[in-house]
Amino acid sequence: MGFGTGSNRGWLVAPVVFALSLICLMTAWAVMEPGCLVGSFDNNGRSPFELATLPFFAAVIPLVWWKCPFEGSAARRRVLSLMVTVVAAMAIIKQLDLHNAVLSCLYPDYVGADGSLVSGKLVRPNGKPLNGTPFKMRVITNGEVPFGMKALIVGYFTLFFGLFAAGFAYLAQFWFDGVLKLKPSAWAWGCFGASGVVVQISDRLPSWLGHAHGLSKSADGVTKAQSLCTALEEGGEMMIAVFALLTIYFSWKEIRAKAPVKKGTVPSKTVLFWGRFDHGYSRNRVNIALFGELGWNVEFFDVILSPRFGDIEAVLRGLSRKVKPDLVWVPVCRQRDIMAACRWARRNGVKVLFDPMISAWDKKVLEQKKWKADEPRAKKLHALEKKMMNAPDFVTWDTSCHVDFCEREFAVPREKMAPLFTGTDEKIFKPGPAPAREGTDFRVLYHGAYIPLHGMEYIVEAARMTEGKGIHWDLLGWGAYKAKTEALAEGISNITFLDKVPYAKVPEVIYKADVVLGVFGTTEKASRVIGNKIFEAMGCARPVINEYCTGYPPEAKDCKAIKFVPAGDAAAIVKAVEEYRADWANRDSYNEAAYEFFKNHLSMAEVKKQLVGILDRLGL
């Protein structure tokens, strides 16, 4: 069964139907006389409500063959559809009480024409008469019942509940995953099961209460409590049929939504993105898109419980049954996921690639300087991260500088690593017209996180140094150090802190800028990165200023649209801005140079070449 991708609020359909159904049944119970309700709901398969339920069960049989809700080979789909057909047919038999009628014909001395046990024919161990339906355990264990009759009852129970149990056991792992991901088919299946629970409780409750407390009968022979149980039992059977139909339809629809491999073509490879990661983060968006362009199927295993035990969660959710990946990809900053991903992948014979982008030890010790390198906790983190970096089959970094760092610091063999540029979403970040703006000031833009890595204090100081010189600085960002940055900028007239905008709107802000700023921090890490903002700015055809990183393509030194400055040097930033402004009559040539460099060295086409080379090294 599919339990595939849900959409919008489709998962709410089944729970809403379930709730409304119970409300309707409770309303009917509240307004109808007990005897009238029982006569309308339960009359040996002949009551109006029982007859109304039959078409729903009957519809399951053609629907499961017409809109097959199962995946796999044709033989597998036929077997599973046949199982559903048998269960639906047996439900119809039960609804019409035909199973009791068969026993009445074969064993008239024990089962009467109404399908109930002949009064006084059988007795309990305590000497009291055994009455009611023959389909119960007391009949099977009674020594006076003929063997053939027992065999029919046991066979019926075994077939009906055996198929149910097998189905539930097989689908439980998929159902758990689907419910957590709000998939309509999984929620319909869950309501199907809940309806079955309602039926079983309502069927047994009168007997339980009778044994425990005794149920006094009203004048017409039926108590209010008994009529409630009848309404829930018979109504629950109709709900079972309805949710079976919904489950079949939703599963078929979800399977159909998956892109099939065309007949005669070679099936594409599959990459499984693993972990509790941000799908919308720029680097992840780019990598996911590139696999799509390469013709790979892209699947996701979003860890819901503990990342440390993600491999156990994968087993519980039946991941290996649903996905047969050629590569497991653990995305940016997911150190917590890598060990579980490796354990699962090893058991399934799959290679693992880790794309960390940052080192947690590097961030704590070298960048933020929160810990000293010789502290026990720092040493412990270093040892743990060394283990993590050496666990996968391959590790990618955003620059060659980080490859050098990982080899030096964590002893990862260089042949197991390669740079993979960050890139950017070129459907969003692309050249566009400069919108009309107020004033004639030369505009400098910083967009990104307010973190020490980016050297915000030097940008603020550069702005202070250019007050009254016709240069305006726009800062668009977020992060823990935003308040500190705003405090540093207090009283500076040529700085504007822009309100945060949606990701897709960032290019509109870039188009208003004359030049865009990159990274200027004095930490070691700052000298190893090419910030997202560089890819985004040059993709929008805007020149940039950044501190030098050896990870840039060599051609960057000769590009007129990139000015490199020393780390932590506000005066150098000012000088680079003034050099751009001095030649701004030729701004178009700078914009064109920025985009030309982007296309040739930083574009998704170039990142794709890097990715292809990495996959080749992995034998994929």
Amino acid at 244: A
Q: How far is CA 516 from CA 132, 442, 459, 542, 592, in A?
A: 84, 11, 11, 7, 15
In a domain, 166, yes or no: yes
Whether 185 and 103 map to the same domain: the answer is yes
In a domain, 393, yes or no: yes
Distance CA 140, CA 366 (A): 75
In a domain, 608, yes or no: no
Whether 205 and 307 map to the same domain: the answer is no
Measured on CA atoms in the order 339, 342, 344, 347, is the torsion positive or negative? negative
In a domain, 426, yes or no: no
Domain that holds residue 313: 270-419
What pairs with residue 397 in β-bridges?
419
State the residue for tokens 């005794």.
214
Whether 375 and 521 map to the same domain: the answer is no
Q: Other CB atoms closer than 10 Å to residue 476's CB: what's the count?
A: 19
State the residue for tokens 């393509």.
553
In a domain, 349, yes or no: yes
Domain boundary among 257, 289, 320: 257
Closest Cα partner for 362 from 589, 576, 601, 527?
527
Q: Which residues of 335-353 are buried (b: 16+ CB within 10 A; e: fewer)?
A: bbbbbbbbbbbeebebbbb
In a domain, 609, yes or no: no
Exposed, middle or buried, 19 (CB in 10 Å: 0-12/13-18/19+)?
exposed
Distance CA 474, CA 453 (A): 19
Whether 453 and 539 map to the same domain: the answer is yes
Amino acid at 397: W
In a domain, 72, yes or no: yes
Q: Other CB atoms closer than 10 Å to residue 107's CB: what's the count?
A: 17
The per-residue pLDDT for 173 is: 61
Closest Cα partner for 38 from 221, 194, 197?
221
The per-residue pLDDT for 224 is: 81
Parallel, antiparallel, or unpaired for β 442-449 and 417-419? unpaired
Whether 215 and 296 map to the same domain: the answer is no
Backbone angles phi, psi at 397, to 5 degrees: -130, 160
Whether 237 and 112 map to the same domain: the answer is yes
Whether 242 and 129 map to the same domain: the answer is yes
Whether 454 and 412 map to the same domain: the answer is no
In a domain, 540, yes or no: yes
Whether 112 and 249 map to the same domain: the answer is yes
CATH of the domain at 361: 3.40.50.2000
Whether 276 and 405 map to the same domain: the answer is yes
With a cut of 50, list the residues of the chain below it in pLDDT: 2-7, 215-219, 259-266
> How many domains, the chain?
3
Distance CA 325, CA 300 (A): 10
Q: Other CB atoms closer than 10 Å to residue 596's CB: what's the count?
A: 14
Q: How far is CA 217 from CA 34, 208, 210, 226, 496, in A?
A: 11, 15, 11, 9, 81
CB 568 within 8 Å of CB 455: yes
Whether 540 and 586 map to the same domain: the answer is yes
Q: Which residues of 187-204 are buried (b: 16+ CB within 10 A; e: fewer)?
A: bbbbbbbbbbebbeebbe
- Is the pTM of the predicted complex or chain greater than 0.75? no
Whether 200 and 339 map to the same domain: the answer is no
